[in-house]
Amino acid sequence: MTARARLLILLTAVAVLAAVALASVLHASARADRRDRARAGGPAVASGPVSLTGPGRMVFRNMAWGPHRDELTAVPAADPSGPRTASGVKCLRFHAAAGTGICLQAVHGPVSDTYRALVLDARLKERARYDVPGIPSRARVSPTGHFAAWTAFVGGDSYAGTDFSTRAAIVDTRTGRLIPTLESFRIVKDGHPHRAADVNFWGVTFADDDRTFYATMATGGSTYLVRGDLRTRTVTTLHTDVECPSLSPDGTRVAYKKRVRGLPEDAPWRLYVLDLRTMRETPLAETRSVDDQALWRDDHTVVYALPGDYGADLYTVPADGTGSSRRLLTAGLSPAFPG
Amino acid sequence: MYVADSRAGTPASAEGAVRPAGRRPAAVAPTVFALGTVSLVTDVSSEMVTAVLPLYLVAGLGLSPLGFGLLDGIHNGFSAVVRLVGGHLADRGGGRHKRVAGLGYGLSALCKPLLLVAHSLTPIGIVLAADRTGKGLRTAPRDALISLSSTPETRGRAFGVHRAMDTAGALLGPLVAFLILRATVDGYDAVFTVSFCVAVTGVLVLVLFVPGGHPAGTAPAAPPAERPTVRAALGLLRHRDLRRVAGCALLLGLATVSDSFVYLLLQRRLDVPDRWFPLLPLGTAAAFLLLAVALGRLADRVGRWAVFLAGHAALLLCYALLLASWHGAALPYLVLALHGAFYAATDGVLMAAASDGVPQGLRSSGLAVVQTGQALARFACSLLFGAVWTVWGDRAALAGATAALAGCAAFSLLLRPGSTSRAPGPPEGTAIP
């Protein structure tokens, strides 16, 4: 075959491949139109002021298709499937307590996405912003509103890199002082100091004393529930097989997702509650795999997200293992009861 | 199609491409450019996927990617075996380098559309493993083709040109991927489709523009004693030169800390802001890209082994800077430049050096043995480094690695495996006694 013929074959093939590539890009960009149109039968959403003070309100990331997708949205806590008020503030992850909010956002740059955490006041105005080193995963504000925490996935920079890690940060919202990673804390594992390059933290939850927090720590292939002390900068392991803990309002129990043996690799978690005094585990009545940091609506009920038609729906289940799960609302994620 | 081509004896081949005059420095063979183009295009394709994969798993599919890395150890061991198999297969039947390399590139290309249908961790893990198998298969035959298409005197430069093109592709890939994501809504499917089209283009360039089989007229030069059997491949280690090259690569590999540890140490010691963290590997890649050709040429001129060892001296300096208490603003740039220089002075140069000690008929197997030894040594170093970090902390681990690297480099200096294969090397086929 002559060089000319080879070149001709290559150019023809490249033209065909370029057409396929272009078609796929155009197809994917056409989705923008569909996304901005509200879908018939979906929740009704209207713009309006959203506040993080005052009881009886639930604020979450609205996942319903239409112009207000991804915005922080408020509904009456007593009627969660009622009309939604959208604030115009877009967040990937959100939580709020005592008039302070934390909002993890994507910033679309020219070359790649970056992420940031915004500390919000009661009227959703930005009070401070911090860089987040990777894709946001969890967000939490302390019951006092004085501390906020977030977790991000970091990694994937080698060839076919699959080695992901997490980074968990805590900020004092009064002083702005940031702990960029909990990996700087002293670790006490099973009574002994522990140091390892493979330590990862995620899923922080706060007590109401402005000092104690709980989180997941992973090292050596196992996950642990740790109790952290912000004053001594120490974390201590309490229990194994605990991910994304969430402390109950009375501070006695932790709701979490547990990797249960024998479940499929794709759906490995079940919701559990751990009593911190007796260390007794109670499986909750939700029978599906939950990959979320649950939230306590009150001392008896937890709220969590499951995948749904719009991306995610919110469900509730009793915290004592009785009853059954119930859908709270469709098309929502990252709820908070800030009042 | 290409089989018939290769039998027709295309003039684009290898040793024939080098100008006989020799007054001007010979140009890099067209085959090397073709292979460089294949690597560039393939790296654009694979790095597109790598760049969006975390985002796709977390934001696109809503999966938790943690624990995904647990399989890495198994993948590492498996891909070492695949590389040896690839090297051996390529040598059998009188030089099937192109076919085996094509198989590897083709397998990786086919994995891209499969990502469109894999929606949970296990299938995605399998697809990525297949992708890596393709990479493992093609590496040794491709490097063998590069070394067979260039004269011993210009081999360092040929590998330098190839590695520079390869790295350029790796830098372009993420850029293309994020441009697509920016132009679309949740356009991961578009990223995978475009990545597939790009990968197919790479395979086509290989099929159409890389001559197959042995370089015309040179195949019979290989003595019959080196028939490419498994035994012959193992017997390669009896050759003093190759044994020393492989031994030194292995020793130095044992003291080469994995990139991710270097970046982590850099971040910890210098308080690199989180938002810059993903840019650290780009710094290494940029330095690698800029220096690869120059250091390859230098290796041709002053000796490959000298440059290979100098590269490790750069790495040693890199470790020393990370250990030192100096915290100047220039430090991250210096560390990354040295880290990139280390790769530029060692990656392709080692293949050029190893080529001198391996007969043509066993070129793929020989290079695969060296690559695999080095990869396994680096993996062992990572495990050890992690363990020392766990027990004694990051500084102790780095100090240990620094001492080990200094020791291994001193020992390699004494061995001087390059002493008999200094450029300009002996003619093909006579290097082996």
Domain residue limits, chain B = 28-209+229-421
- pLDDT-based confidence at residue B385 (cuts at 50, 70, 90): confident
Contact B208 A10 (CB under 8 A): yes
Rounded to whole angstroms, the maximal C-alpha distance in chain B is: 63
Averaged over A51-59, what is the pLDDT? 89
Nearest C-alpha of chain A: how many angstroms from B231?
32
The percent of residues above 90 in pLDDT, for chain A, comes to: 75
Rounded Cα–Cα distance for residues A229 and A289 (Å): 31
**Residue of B43, B58, B63, B72 to mutate, interface with A, max A Cβ within 10 Å:** B58
Contact B59 A200 (CB under 8 A): no
Who's near B325: CB < 8 A, 6+ residues apart? Answer: none
Rounded Cα–Cα distance for residues B391 and B92 (Å): 47
pLDDT at B3: 32
- DSSP run (H or E) holding A275: strand A269-275
What Å distances lie between residue B254 and A60, B250, B341, B376, CA to CA?
51, 6, 19, 8
- DSSP run (H or E) holding A213: strand A212-219
B198 to chain A: which residues are within 8 Å by CB? 17, 21
pLDDT at B57: 78
Q: Note whether B329 contacts A: Cβ–Cβ < 8 A.
A: no
What Å distances lie between residue A172 and A142, A146, A231, CA to CA?
10, 6, 12
Rounded Cα–Cα distance for residues B211 and A274 (Å): 66
B134 to chain A: which residues are within 8 Å by CB? none
Who's near A11: CB < 8 A, 6+ residues apart? Answer: none
CB-CB: which of B121, B189, B260 is closest to A158?
Answer: B260
Q: Is the predicted pLDDT of residue B67 greater than 70, yes or no?
A: no
Rounded Cα–Cα distance for residues A186 and A163 (Å): 24
DSSP letter, residue A280 = -
The SS3 of residue A20 is helix
Who's near B205: CB < 8 A, 6+ residues apart? Answer: A10, B34, B37, B38, B41
Specify which of A309-313, B37-41, B393-397 reaches the highest per-range mean pLDDT. B37-41
Question: Which chain A residue is nearest to residue B171, measuring alpha carbons?
Answer: A157
**Assign residue A261 a region: left if phi > 0, alpha if psi is -120 to 50, beta otherwise?**
beta
Question: Regarding the domain delimited by B28-209+229-421, which CATH topology (the fold level of the hierarchy) does it fall under?
Answer: Growth Hormone; Chain: A; (1.20.1250)
CB-CB: which of B131, B278, B386 is closest to A198?
Answer: B386
Contact B65 A164 (CB under 8 A): yes
Nearest C-alpha of chain B: how many angstroms from A54?
32
Q: Note whether B144 contacts A: Cβ–Cβ < 8 A.
A: no
Strands laid side by side in the A93-97 sheet: A93-97, A100-108, A113-120, A126-132
Rounded Cα–Cα distance for residues B318 and B330 (Å): 13
pLDDT at B425: 39
Averaged over A240-257, what is the pLDDT? 96
Contact A195 B393 (CB under 8 A): yes
What is the ipTM metric for this complex?
A: 0.79
CA torsion sign for A191, A197, A198, A203 is: positive
Nearest C-alpha of chain A: how many angstroms from B425?
33
Contact A28 B205 (CB under 8 A): no
For B269-314, what is each residue's pLDDT tens digit? 777 766 677 778 889 999 999 999 999 999 999 999 899 999 999 9
- DSSP run (H or E) holding B240: helix B240-254
Q: Is the predicted pLDDT of residue A235 greater than 90, yes or no?
A: yes
Rounded Cα–Cα distance for residues B244 and B358 (Å): 12
